Structure 1
Amino acid sequence: MSLAGRGDSDWLAAAARLAARARPLSRPNPAVGCIIVRHGIVVGRGWTQSGGRPHAEAVALDQAGEKALGATVYVTLEPCAHRSERGPSCADLLIEAKPARIVIAEIDPDSRTDGAGGERLRKAGIRVDHLPIPEAHASLAGFLIRQRLGRPHVTLKLAMSLDGCIALADGTSQWITGEEARAHVHSRRAIADAILVGGGTWRADRPRLDVRLPGLGHRSPHRIVLTRGDVPPDVRRIAAPADIAGLDSVQYLYVEGGARTAASFLAEDLADRIEIYRAPIVIGDGLRAVEALAVADLASTHGRWQLAERRQLGSDCFEAYARART
């Protein structure tokens, strides 16, 4: 199928959509997408496979075969420069395939690459362009934050009434949102490495914290409880939000609450995305979605969050806010 005339940013955005297929199955490697285009026609495409190998470029090159010669390669993350026991580097594979040009969205912050992949390709006579786009950055958020900050990307999920309550005054919370919103939550769980709740939520509800969508039960994330109390052997325990830095194999952490847990992650400035499911009901005297935060002044709160997505899920409204990039 010919798609001639599409710009570089469009091809990279398409590669980022492919990368979404790898999350979270590619862990501990990043979810990368790659598209190879020759004369306006896609001749190869790939995304990081389960367990991290083969890499996206290797899959796309294998599909393209000899058609990669003289083509343009669009990849969301700089091709790796280091050879491992599992195979050659992607930079070497690309040099062997001899494309005319490679367009990279994000430079790999891994010290084993970090510019070295692009430099090796340039020395081999291949044109390399760097074109950052928001879609690619978002698709690699977990990997980039893990590399730069030493912790996972944290999504804070809140289901609430119009007036910001997550439960009645007596703690009753089933169900504030409708079936479509709850199904959407399960789809979000399916792309997380781990899911976390607070000790109070765990003790009160004993939530299953799994994925209950047809055919996706195997995608249930690891379970974590923020508590100093006892948890079952198959549940991990951390004592404080800052302890997420020790979750080495986790790139994407999905935090479901409750109110105290939400406040603690916000207070520690550890939330990267907030996802709100807002039901068209008013509770009044109920439990608030977030416990009190000691905000010093309103000016400091502006500009921190940007609307990333909004959609209707049945009668409920879904809104996602991403941390503003600086």
Structure 2
Amino acid sequence: MTREAAGAAEDQPEPVEPAVPAVPAVPAVPAASAAPAASRAGRNVPLSIAVSLALGAAVLVSLLTVRQIFVGVVAAAVAVGSYELATALRRASDIRVTIWPVLVGGQAMVWLSWPFGRNGLLAAFVLTVLACMVWRFAGGIDGYLRDLSASVLTAAYVPLLASFAAMLVVVEDGVARVLCFLVLVVCSDTGGFAAGVLFGKHPMAKVISPKKSWEGFAGSMVAGIVAGILSLTLLLDGQWWQGALFGAALVCTATIGDLVESLIKRDLKIKDMGHLLPAHGGVMDRLDSLLPAAVVSWLLLRLFVPH
């Protein structure tokens, strides 16, 4: 190549690559559109309400038709709740509840409380404890005290407390008594839920139940006292102050029951006791506030409105 040709080649501009048209950026999809954000309630609220209404309808039908059906509803809840608690204990901590004595004894507690009252309930509970002691012999020495303690706890926590709900319906005005009990617990839960979601800022027991707030407890107390006054005066011809005390006592008891079950689940490191009820968890997750409240209802209604 001649010097002139080389110089001409150097003077030529370098080829320019064709520009690639810019691709417009795809806007990021908000996280909320990929999956619905969790509500402050932590549950599917519409589904939770639907399940609650279905359960309430079943209880009302049993009360307004044949009262013995309500005892059957209690007995079924006791069986499922006892099994859920025993299963949770075994899966989380390898604690082996003597399930058959607890299940059979639990049914005996509920059904014997109808004709024989407290005597039938106490006799069935004592026999259940004895049966648990003997049944566990087959498991040997290792873990005997641990398993026996859990078995007695299960028998006392679920069927023993639930039997007081069955005893509420035994007397002539038993349907009204059960309705007072259930209305109070439902109003306490609803008032606490609404106030907690709307105004909850100060945790009541942060380690045990982070979502439970003092504002929610105040909502439960207001709803419970109003419901207590209305239910006792309208359904049982009680005094307004009796209804107020009844409502306040049941709100406190139901809250304690809720915290106790939350503490058990925290200890076992589980979210729910079971998965039978959509958006609720297990049956035990619905019985937590009802079980201790049934005992207090039975005691206070016998005191305020003797039969």
User: Taking structure 1 as the reference length, what is the TM-score of the superposition?
Assistant: 0.19
Q: Flag the structure with more relative contact order, 1 or 2, with Cα contacts below 8 A and sequence separation at least 6.
A: 2
Query: In proportion to residue count, which structure has more helix?
Result: 2
User: Taking structure 2 as the reference length, what is the TM-score of the superposition?
Assistant: 0.19
Query: In proportion to residue count, which structure has more strand?
Result: 1
